[in-house]
Every structure is written in C-alpha cells, then in structure tokens.
C-alpha cells in the first residue's frame, strides 16, 4: 500500500493537459492506497454550485477513484478555499482541516497547504483572514456565479500585480513559523505545497533532525511525494506527452 501527496495542480479549463495528467496519474493508485491533495487542486473554485464542465468532470473522476477504494482526502488552498460539503458528498473525498497531523507509514506527519506559514506576507495574512471568515464566504456564495467569476478574476489580477512587487523571501515560508508549528504538534516531518519551491529541507530542531518536504506545482512537470515501506520521497516526472493521454476537453 502506498500514500501519495500532491498539491498545486491549479486545474483550469485552459490547462487541459494538467487535468489529463491528473487523470492519468490516478491510474497508478490501487485499492487501499491513499491520496492526499494539499490544496490549490483547482486554480479557482467559485463554490460547489459551479456546474462548469471542468468542475463536473473532475468531480466524477474523483468519485470513480474513491469508488475503487482509493482513500482520497483534500485540504483547501488559497485558490480553492470555497470547496465544501457538497463537493465532499458528490465525490466521497474527505475534506481535511487546514492543519492536520496524521500517522503515515508509522511516522507522524503534519500536513498543510503552506500559505499559513508565510507569516512575513502580512498583506496576504490579512486577506486570508478575511476570505476564510464564514461571514465573508456566506456573503460571496450568495452572489450569482458570473459575479463570483468576475470577482475571482479581479482578485487574481490584484494578487499578480502585488506579488510582482513583493520580495522573494516574503513569499516563502517563515522559518520561525515552521519551527513553531512543528514543535506545537511534536512532529519531525512536515509536508506542504503553495510556494512552488519543491525541495526536501532537513535541519536540527531541539536536538532532532527534522524534515520539511515541499511539493511543486504541476506545470511542465508533475510532482508528488510517495510514502511507502517507511520512506518518503519527493518525485518529479515530466508531464506525459499529449498523445499518450486520454483527451480532456472543456
Ligand atoms: O495565488 P497566488 O499564488 O498568485 O498568490 C498567493 C496570494 N494571493 C491569493 C489571492 C488569490 O490569488 C486570489 C484568487 C482566488 C481565486 C478563488 C477565489 C474564489 C472566491 C472569490 C470570489 C467568489 O491568495 C498572495 C501571496 C502569494 O500567494 C504567496 O504566498 O502573496 O497574496 C496576495 O496577493 C494578497 C495581497 O497581498 C493582498 C490582497 C489584496 C486584495 C485586494 C482586493 C481587491 C478587490 C478585488 C475585487 C473583489
Ligand atoms: Mn497556494
């Protein structure tokens, strides 16, 4: 049995190759395996009532995956934080809390999307607090879908222009926050995505060697962490060539 971790696929109607690569990727998962999706699975999720063909097709695929006994669980990211109960019911995917400690291959592992670790990015932290509040979400979800789509496009544009002005290290995790949360949860291993800076970091924390595995975003390559036989490995693979993939069209 194997456990796979992925994040930051940023599924989008104009990124058909990524959706197709995800569908192909799931073929390697067998009954009894586990899949953890650690946020930003969708490039933008406007609400579970979205009936866009991409949303419909991906949910059907997840349901088929769960139906063949692949335990699938998801943490939301800063792009798909509106994923909710209706999505979970339609797919059978378990929606996980933002911070989760799970025992995998006999090791306690802390799982996060990763955005909450970027505490130096105070503008983003304030934004996050706002969009994660139930009151804001309830208000936004009551708006018609075209209006939400427009809002999401404006937020993306604003985020892009602000990010271009932010120092590089501000958009990475804050080392002190990583140490703090690992000590709080008494774990030696942390897995997250969000920063698009795939790497395995090891350092000493209170006399112990600890490890932070950072997933990469799916673009020219796909990234995953495979936990099997007691070991964790960060893996990069080229995106399968279009000709070898089943078509996904939206
Ligand atoms: O996303 P990414 O990686 O480019 O940047 C993130 C942070 N930005 C965000 C914002 C999202 O990109 C917005 C898109 C959300 C789509 C789905 C929303 C669906 C619901 C909405 C409508 C129904 O998360 C960015 C971080 C970066 O990661 C690295 O960590 O720096 O943070 C920001 O850009 C936040 C800004 O610094 C501050 C926010 C300003 C908001 C201004 C509001 C303008 C009003 C627009 C009209 C609605
Ligand atoms: Mn993210």
Query: For ligand 1, is residue 237 a contact (CB within 6 Å)?
Result: no
For the ranges 57-66, 132-141, 161-170, 200-209, the lowest mean pLDDT is seen at 161-170
Report which bound ligand comes closest to the CA of 118: 1
Q: Distance from the CA of 153 to the center of ligand 1, in angstroms? A: 10
Which residues in 201-234 are b (16+ Cβ under 10 Å) and which e?
eeeeeeeeebbbbbbbbbeeebbbbebeeeebeb
Backbone φ/ψ region at 129: left (φ over 0), alpha (ψ -120 to 50), beta: alpha
Nearest CA to ligand 1 atom 29: 171
**Can you tell me which residue has the tokens 């990469």?**
216
Give the 3-state secondary structure of residue 35: strand
pLDDT band of residue 246 (cuts 50, 70, 90) is low
Nearest CA to ligand 1 atom 32: 124
What is the predicted pLDDT for the residue at 241?
A: 79
For residue 101, count other CB atoms closer than 10 A to its CB. 14
Query: For ligand 1, is residue 150 a contact (CB within 6 Å)?
Result: no
Separation between Cα atoms, residue 173 and residue 192, nearest integer Å: 10
pLDDT band of residue 247 (cuts 50, 70, 90) is low
Report which bound ligand comes closest to the CA of 112: 2
Which residue in 28, 126, 38, 33 sits closest to 79, CA to CA? 38
End-to-end CA separation in angstroms for the chain: 34
Give me the percent of the chain exceeding a pLDDT of 70.
Answer: 96
> Which residues on neighbouring strands pair with residue 108, listed in sequence order?
103
Please, which residues have CB less than 5 A from ligand 2, an ion? 40, 77-78, 194
Provide Rg for the chain, Cα atoms.
18
Summarize the confidence of residues 2-11 as an average pLDDT. 98
pLDDT band of residue 137 (cuts 50, 70, 90) is very high
What is the predicted pLDDT for the residue at 242?
A: 67
What is the predicted pLDDT for the residue at 78?
A: 98
Report which bound ligand comes closest to the CA of 138: 1
Summarize the confidence of residues 47-58 as an average pLDDT. 97
Summarize the confidence of residues 58-62 as an average pLDDT. 98
Summarize the confidence of residues 10-15 as an average pLDDT. 98
Separation between Cα atoms, residue 165 and residue 31, nearest integer Å: 46
Supply the pTM of this predicted model. Answer: 0.96
**How confident is the prediction for the chain on average, in pLDDT?**
96
Summarize the confidence of residues 238-250 as an average pLDDT. 69
Q: Are 21 and 220 in contact (CB under 8 A)?
A: no
Query: For ligand 1, is residue 82 a contact (CB within 6 Å)?
Result: yes
User: Can you tell me which atom of ligand 1 is nearest the CA of 127?
Assistant: 39
Q: Are 17 and 239 in contact (CB under 8 A)?
A: yes
Answer whether residue 248 shows pLDDT above 60. no
**Residue 206 dihedral angles phi and psi, to the nearest 5°:** 50, 50
Query: For ligand 1, is residue 124 a contact (CB within 6 Å)?
Result: yes
For the ranges 49-63, 114-128, 235-249, the lowest mean pLDDT is seen at 235-249
């Amino acid at each position: 049995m194997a456990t796979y971790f992925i994040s930051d696929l940023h599924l989008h109607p104009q990124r058909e190759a990524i959706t197709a690569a995800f569908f192909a990727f799931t073929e390697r998962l067998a009954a009894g395996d586990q899949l953890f999706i650690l946020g930003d699975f969708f490039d933008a999720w406007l609400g579970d009532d979205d009936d866009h063909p991409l949303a419909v097709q991906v949910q059907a695929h997840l349901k088929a995956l769960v139906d063949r006994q692949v335990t699938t669980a998801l943490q939301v990211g800063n792009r798909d934080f509106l994923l909710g109960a209706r999505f979970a019911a339609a797919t059978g995917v378990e929606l996980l809390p933002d911070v989760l400690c799970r025992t995998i291959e006999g090791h306690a592992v802390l799982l996060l999307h990763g955005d909450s670790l970027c505490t130096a990015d105070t503008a983003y932290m304030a934004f996050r607090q706002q969009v994660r509040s139930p009151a804001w979400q309830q208000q936004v979800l009551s708006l018609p879908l075209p209006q939400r789509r427009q809002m999401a496009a404006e937020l993306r544009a604003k985020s892009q222009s602000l990010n271009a002005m932010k120092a590089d290290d501000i958009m990475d995790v804050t080392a002190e926050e990583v140490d703090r949360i690992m000590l709080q949860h008494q774990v030696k291993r942390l897995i997250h995505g969000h920063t698009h800076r795939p790497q395995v970091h090891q350092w000493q924390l209170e006399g112990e060697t600890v490890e932070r595995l950072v997933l990469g975003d799916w673009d020219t390559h796909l990234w995953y962490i495979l936990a099997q036989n007691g070991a964790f490995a960060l893996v990069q693979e080229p995106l399968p060539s279009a000709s070898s993939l089943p078509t996904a069209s939206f």
